[in-house]
Chains A and B, each alone.
Chain A
């Protein structure tokens, strides 16, 4: 919203250059280079265990690069001091695989918590905003439920409501369709696009759901678990047409050649 207005769409938003990711001495992926542009729905895909979620943890600053850098709006999170880093991370919305709602708080409190921390709004205004965010994801009326009292799909949508609580500049999704039926998953895809357009946000999605990849992806990278690096990048539809890497072709065609 406000943050996005003064920057043109299409400008480089997240730049990953020469990134190596490792757990101790075990290198997960090496030499990743790609750029996410403002307004993109950027898909991170690849076979299971290739490090997609690890890459996401690098992008949001939960894990430091073993080598190379990740910059957002030209700044590396690891070079900022603590306050600036927290301020930068506040511009992210992150939807975790399981929703990761705070289990000791009601849905409304889950969404109200970041609002209360970072705004000077009154309690009544915060409650109103929280209830608005819940309505946006189709959960109006569930304000007083605890995370353990709702279904997995609802927890995911509630997690999305929390992710957009602070009107983020970049929305990250970790396997949004995992554990959802095809109809809920398609509705979540529509919601993602809707939120991107209305918030003016950039969206990064980790997924291997082909339907979602083609429905929402405007750009993508493909990580290979065996070569431990990225083997293709570009809009998913173009990759389907033109990519010559056998693994990417079979992946995008669901195993059919």
Chain B
């Protein structure tokens, strides 16, 4: 490390005071305090200050920022500075930085607004959000209408690919989660039911719990994280690469070509996944019943069969189809609304999952009340 940066104040030519810079002005060095320097009585009344090289050993950008700050402060006092004594490179770089005047009309975000403003803006955004959602739903409904009339344009091979991705490929994870949920339900119930010696009713608890609620809910949450996020990321990336624009300019509707096959695939596959999840969950419950509570497999099977009606399955399957549509809508909507940057793609995927899960739980709540009132 060479010598410390410093500034000597001395009388210069033509009655100006001269600030002679010495030492190594490099990033990491301790720079002279600007306030102390400007408070120096020798330059307090000076109208012209000459900046000069009094033996600068080394310099980098930190010297430029220091000089800009110094010149700004001097100008505030109504005095002028003269750079002619500085090294040529410094003078040229400073001139380059000033060549294009600072633009004030760039529309850049100014100071962070207060909390009231931000709260207000958030509420306004909520309105815009709702409008965007309604618009998307309308477009999706129109695309679906065209599909029903057989006029929608998309490739069968795309739909097949989506069906495979939403169906068979999701089975391993659905298996794992559903078996575990069945196990957990059985465990939680077992402890309570043992108090009454009513262990056999564990079969009822698991069967009803899985068929009416947990099968559809767990399958939906898995698919929201797995497929909803993938939809948003795929469509978002296509938005970034202008691939969606390319569809629009060729007169191919991205709603029909990209969104429709995804919605159909999820709406068709979710009920099947739900049935599969129901069975896996019941299997998980049976494991607990048989190995922990010493219920015989036949007894468990009979108890389940006797108690569980088709109506219970139907409730779950119906809900699963609705959840499938909700997941597809949130995934595709966030993807289509995605901005044109890689950060926006990440945000689209995240928000697709969050939105899907919120919608699923809300819908489930509405269904619970409705089915209760209808006595199903």
Binding site for B on A (CB under 8 A): 26, 57, 60-62, 85-87, 89-90, 92, 94, 96-98, 100-103, 113-114, 117-118, 162, 166
Contacts and interface: CB of A to CB of B under 8 A. Distances in A.
B107 interface: yes
B251 A86 contact: yes
B48 interface: no
Contacts of B253: 86
Given A26-B107, A117-B153, A101 B243 contact: yes
Q: What 3 A-B pairs come out closest when comparing CB atoms? A: A86-B251, A100-B242, A90-B251
B373 interface: no
Nearest to B103: A226
Contact of A60 (B107, B241, B249, B252): B249
B115 interface: no
B238 interface: yes
27 contacts: A26-B107, A60-B249, A62-B245, A62-B248, A62-B249, A86-B251, A86-B253, A89-B250, A89-B251, A90-B251, A94-B245, A94-B246, A94-B249, A96-B242, A96-B245, A98-B241, A100-B241, A100-B245, A101-B246, A102-B238, A103-B237, A103-B238, A113-B250, A114-B250, A117-B252, A118-B251, A166-B250
A166 B107 CA distance: 41
Contacts of B251: 85-87, 89-90, 118
Contact of B241 (A62, A103, A162): A103
Contacts of B242: 96-98, 100
Interface of B: 107, 153, 237-238, 241-243, 245-246, 248-253
B250 A102 contact: no
Nearest to A86: B251
A130 to B, nearest CB: 14
A102 B242 CA distance: 9
A100 B241 CA distance: 6
A87 B250 CA distance: 9
Find the residue from A26, A97, A101, A102 having the highest chain B CB count within 10 A: A102
Contacts of A94: 245-246, 249
A89 B238 contact: no
Contacts of B246: 94, 96, 100-102, 162
Contacts of A90: 250-251
Nearest to A60: B249
Nearest to A110: B246
Contacts of A89: 248-251
A227 B107 CA distance: 15
A87 B252 CA distance: 10
A118 B153 CA distance: 10
Nearest to A25: B107
A162 B251 CA distance: 13
A212 to B, nearest CB: 21
Contacts of A26: 107
A89 B243 CA distance: 16
A162 B243 CA distance: 12
Residue among A26, A86, A92, A97 with max Cβ neighbours from chain B (10 Å): A86
A129 B36 CA distance: 78
B278 to A, nearest CB: 34
A90 B250 CA distance: 5
A87 B253 CA distance: 12
Given A26-B107, A101-B246, 7 more contacts: A61-B249, A89-B250, A90-B250, A94-B245, A103-B238, A117-B250, A166-B250
A26 B241 CA distance: 24
A62 B249 CA distance: 7
A129 to B, nearest CB: 15
Contacts of B237: 103
Contacts of A101: 243, 246
Nearest to B107: A26
Nearest to A94: B249
Contacts of B238: 102-103
A61 B241 CA distance: 18
B243 A102 contact: yes
A101 B242 CA distance: 8
Nearest to A96: B242
Contacts of B153: 117
Contacts of A86: 251, 253
